[in-house]
A and B are shown apart, each in its own frame.
Chain A
């Protein structure tokens, strides 16, 4: 089951707006409409799914 997770930016408080983490391979997916992994993420969200919240590193 593919899942995704938000990640924090450098300040450790604000959620990063440019990258989504894909679990379980910990791949960093760019927020880029031409990236097919990001397209798959959007399709996953469109099905009503929600990424896991960011957690402190």
Chain B
């Protein structure tokens, strides 16, 4: 070979000759052939020599390049810039592991020919956020919490309520407690955090000393259908971030927990957060790596509980910051709100989303939020009327009616829910005049002013009142609630 592999040409052995050397044909022919080989391997300036290997520019430029004319021509910078501008891509960048098609078509929308851009990441430079296709936060169903802004309160309205042991307060939020009378809940609207109009307020009614097995918590159970994509219990479990606004008359470390809703009710992930200034709204963000173990409901059952602790005993508390195979409701060392008489705990803006950081709260139109809530609880009452109210005006509005034309007639009334419920609901009927459960108001002859309603059958789409009391004629009217809560 004439060159050494790095491009250096070296004359063959016997060169250079020294003075007095006899020039022979063997020396001359060998040397001249070697020089001829070297010239053959060099690039002719008129372009007649094709390259037989990759052209290594060693970071040097090719200058004075002509404008490309066929698809295999090299392109100048000016040509590439012009093509990008013609495609309408200016001021942005496109990055991607796979970007098919070597051009991006500038044909207007509506034309029959379009190019397809496929990229793992498509950054249009429109904002500081990038959209990862098929990953991260989608703009729809970002927030897995329903009624996180605390605007819907179908059961109690704005009434301060001493809840029963396992009771719902604002829609989708339950109160679980070992003893009643330790706290009251209420939908409040005075001085909410910026961006919100309502919050759930809890006020402690006594200075209660928590026992090891006691629990006082606010909880929302996320339905399996709304959590199936999280992939929890698999190697692809997604990280989520829980964020919320909170205010308390107390300061210190507070706690909560995310826990599997299916038996054996774990894994559990206790978490803590700090409220350093009393009576001041603070936004909290907790990021939780998705659990790779456990069996999590992915249909119409409960996938997991999100607990906010108001006082949880040691048996049901765990060390914050990891998934544990124990049924837990709170974090070890957390402040007990029910431990201080008159203590307050306010919360709103609750959001649970995919990803490792909290993003802006997902506001929903009120009809959309109400519809989401009605999958779990529905009432025929005005939204402003608390079920079992005995307000004649509010109680009669929207009431269901039946007219019994003759004694002994078999009567039926069908009602369709406004949204398909999670499962067949529990149905309660109320006399609109008195609020008495299980009865209808009566106008007619042959009976008192209220009569017991017969069997009520339900489905996830509606209910049927069947077989009313006989022995009278006239009109019956009543209100209904349907509960398919988790």
The answer to whether B422 and A57 have CB atoms under 8 Å apart is no
The answer to whether A28 and B455 have CB atoms under 8 Å apart is yes
Whether a CB of chain A sits under 8 angstroms from the CB of B262 is no
The answer to whether A19 and B437 have CB atoms under 8 Å apart is no
Which residues in chain B, 389-440, are within 8 Å of chain A measured between CB atoms? Answer: 410, 422-429, 437-439
Which residues in chain B, 427-466, are within 8 Å of chain A measured between CB atoms? Answer: 427-429, 437-439, 452, 454-458, 466
B456 neighbours in A (Cβ, 8 Å): 19, 28
A25 and B438 contact, Cβ closer than 8 Å, known pairs A10-B467, A35-B424, A57-B452:
yes
A36 neighbours in B (Cβ, 8 Å): 485-486
A35 neighbours in B (Cβ, 8 Å): 423-426, 484
The answer to whether B428 and A26 have CB atoms under 8 Å apart is yes
In the bound complex, CA of A36 to CA of B424 (Å):
10
In the bound complex, CA of A55 to CA of B429 (Å):
19
In the bound complex, CA of A10 to CA of B410 (Å):
10
The answer to whether A19 and B457 have CB atoms under 8 Å apart is yes
- Min CB–CB distance A20 → chain B (angstroms): 10
Which residues in chain A, 6-57, are within 8 Å of chain B measured between CB atoms? Answer: 7, 9-10, 16, 18-19, 21-22, 24-30, 32, 34-38, 57
- Min CB–CB distance B373 → chain A (angstroms): 16
Whether a CB of chain A sits under 8 angstroms from the CB of B301 is yes
Which one, A7, A25, A27, A30, contacts B424 given CB within 8 A?
A30
- Min CB–CB distance B459 → chain A (angstroms): 8
The answer to whether B426 and A37 have CB atoms under 8 Å apart is yes
Number of A-B contacts (CB under 8 A): 62
In the bound complex, CA of A9 to CA of B370 (Å):
35
- Min CB–CB distance B4 → chain A (angstroms): 80
B423 neighbours in A (Cβ, 8 Å): 32, 34-35
In the bound complex, CA of A24 to CA of B428 (Å):
11
The answer to whether B455 and A34 have CB atoms under 8 Å apart is no
Interface class of chain A by DSSP: loop
- Min CB–CB distance B199 → chain A (angstroms): 26
In the bound complex, CA of A12 to CA of B69 (Å):
92
In the bound complex, CA of A38 to CA of B486 (Å):
11
Whether a CB of chain A sits under 8 angstroms from the CB of B2 is no
The size of the chain B interface, using a CB distance under 8 A, is 27
The answer to whether A30 and B425 have CB atoms under 8 Å apart is yes
Whether a CB of chain A sits under 8 angstroms from the CB of B34 is no
A25 neighbours in B (Cβ, 8 Å): 428, 437-438
The answer to whether B425 and A57 have CB atoms under 8 Å apart is no
B439 neighbours in A (Cβ, 8 Å): 26
Whether a CB of chain A sits under 8 angstroms from the CB of B483 is yes
A7 neighbours in B (Cβ, 8 Å): 455
- Min CB–CB distance B305 → chain A (angstroms): 13
Which one, B429, B457, B469, B485, contacts A57 given CB within 8 A?
B469
- By beta carbon, the residue of chain B nearest A7 is B455
- Min CB–CB distance A38 → chain B (angstroms): 8
Most buried by B among A21, A22, A34: A34
The answer to whether B300 and A18 have CB atoms under 8 Å apart is no
Which residues in chain B, 120-163, are within 8 Å of chain A measured between CB atoms? Answer: none
B428 neighbours in A (Cβ, 8 Å): 25-28
Which one, B422, B438, B457, B483, contacts A26 given CB within 8 A?
B438
- By beta carbon, the residue of chain A nearest B485 is A36
B426 neighbours in A (Cβ, 8 Å): 22, 27-30, 35, 37-38
The answer to whether A10 and B438 have CB atoms under 8 Å apart is no
The answer to whether B300 and A37 have CB atoms under 8 Å apart is no
The answer to whether B483 and A34 have CB atoms under 8 Å apart is no
The answer to whether B427 and A57 have CB atoms under 8 Å apart is no
Which one, A18, A28, A34, A38, contacts B301 given CB within 8 A?
A34
In the bound complex, CA of A22 to CA of B125 (Å):
60
The answer to whether B466 and A10 have CB atoms under 8 Å apart is yes
Chain A interface residues (CB < 8 Å from chain B): 7, 9-10, 16, 18-19, 21-22, 24-30, 32, 34-38, 57
Can you show 9 pairs from A to B with CB atoms below 8 A apart? A7-B455, A26-B429, A27-B437, A28-B428, A28-B458, A30-B424, A37-B483, A38-B426, A57-B469
Which 6 pairs show the lowest CB-CB distances between chains A and B? Answer: A26-B438, A34-B423, A30-B424, A32-B424, A27-B428, A28-B456
A sample of 12 more A-B contacts (CB under 8 A), given A28-B428, A28-B455, is A10-B467, A16-B455, A18-B457, A19-B455, A26-B428, A27-B427, A28-B426, A28-B457, A32-B423, A34-B424, A35-B426, A37-B426
